[in-house]
Amino acid sequence: MAKLDAFSEILQTNVPTANLTWLRLGGPVEFLARPRSEKELSGLLKACQFDGLDVRVIGDGSAILVPDVGAPGLAIQLSEPAFTEIKIDGTSVVAGAGAKLGRLVTSTASAGLSGLEGLIGVPGTVGGAVVANASTTDVSLGQWVESVRVATYDGKTSDLSQDELVFGYRSSNLDVAIVLSVTFRLEPDDAEELTKRLQKIWIVREQSRPDLAEGEGFARVFKNPRGQRAAELVDEAGFRGARIGGATICDANPNLIQTSRECSSDDVRRLIALIQKQARERIGVELESELTVW
């Protein structure tokens, strides 16, 4: 009997990933589990190692592209309460990896803590955002991180201090582990002022999002190459409004791909590959996708 069978209470099989990702497409993942404690997560990881199963983590699914054939192995989502709590104590904030980034930003601002407000409107969970060092023009999440609690894929847990962490542009050295929680050190500020600032940034970000009908999805596609904006480069390469099958480059923001109900994962993959090729040939720029492809 496979070791994973011992986790049948929290295990789902052949789960459609369209409901788990912002692109709203992709085939099923073989197994999905939402562990209820660190101990259960460790056991699950050890069972997968024993059974030789691939393990993936899914946060809010805002930056994941799943192939049409689906994905083998186990996907773990840290959405149970043990992984979504946000605790504020003075200027120290401990956030579970499964907590939404937006909730972290609004709750720290209303507690009179400044630092993260520039990230309002950036989708994702705390775990996904810290691994990618989510950033905007004025802030990157990593600059506020004090320590990170992680599990390695063999089920062992540990705490990484600031000097063990490396953050780069949309990258970190955490992409080889599962982030369980993150401790931030923020700065005291006026809660009312912070909330007003949040509202202003939020309104601007919301305006660049496409209006979606039922079953449609979207995602951000490319990292900004050094000193340049990916949206402007996609436009310059002639791809504003371009379409392959059910995947379309948004008119309002050419760094977003919008997907129709009929869109396949392959449509998205082909559109990205075509833009990368043309950007290289027409304007001499390498565009790197920020989507994780399963």
Ligand X SMILES: Cc1cc2nc3c(=O)[nH]c(=O)nc-3n(C[C@H](O)[C@H](O)[C@H](O)COP(=O)(O)OP(=O)(O)OC[C@H]3O[C@@H](n4cnc5c(N)ncnc54)[C@H](O)[C@@H]3O)c2cc1C
Which residue numbers are catalytic?
170
Sorted by sequence, the CB contacts under 8 Å of residue 11 that are 6+ apart come out as 4, 31, 32, 33
CB-count exposure of residue 176 (10 Å: 0-12, 13-18, 19+)? exposed
Q: Does 22 bind ligand X (CB under 6 A)?
A: yes
C-beta closer to ligand X: residue 109 or 179: 179
CB-count exposure of residue 157 (10 Å: 0-12, 13-18, 19+)? middle
Q: Does 128 bind ligand X (CB under 6 A)?
A: yes
Q: What part of residues 181-240 is at the interface with ligand X (CB under 6 A)?
A: 219-220
Q: Does 41 bind ligand X (CB under 6 A)?
A: no
Q: Does 131 bind ligand X (CB under 6 A)?
A: yes
C-beta closer to ligand X: residue 170 or 229: 170
Kindly state the smallest distance separating residue 180's Cβ from ligand X, in Å: 7
Round to whole Å and give the CA distance between 185 and 146: 6
Round to whole Å and give the CA distance between 120 and 200: 10
Point out which span in 36-44, 128-136, 155-163, 184-192 binds ligand X (CB under 6 A): 128-136
Q: Does 136 bind ligand X (CB under 6 A)?
A: yes
CB-count exposure of residue 253 (10 Å: 0-12, 13-18, 19+)? buried
Sorted by sequence, the CB contacts under 8 Å of residue 204 that are 6+ apart come out as none
91 to each of 49, 50, 112, 116, 230, how far by Cα in Å? 39, 42, 9, 12, 35
Of positions 45, 47, 71, 78, contacts ligand X by CB under 6 A: 78
Kindly state the smallest distance separating residue 49's Cβ from ligand X, in Å: 17
Q: Does 123 bind ligand X (CB under 6 A)?
A: yes
Of positions 26, 61, 96, 112, contacts ligand X by CB under 6 A: 61
For residues 154 to 183, the per-residue mask of contacts with ligand X, x marking binding by CB under 6 A and - elsewhere, is: ----------------x-------xx----
**Residue 51: its H or E element:** helix 38-51
C-beta closer to ligand X: residue 137 or 284: 137
C-beta closer to ligand X: residue 12 or 292: 292
Round to whole Å and give the CA distance between 151 and 61: 20
- Contact footprint for ligand X (CB under 6 A): 22, 56-64, 78, 97, 122-125, 127-129, 131-132, 134-136, 170, 178-179, 219-220, 292
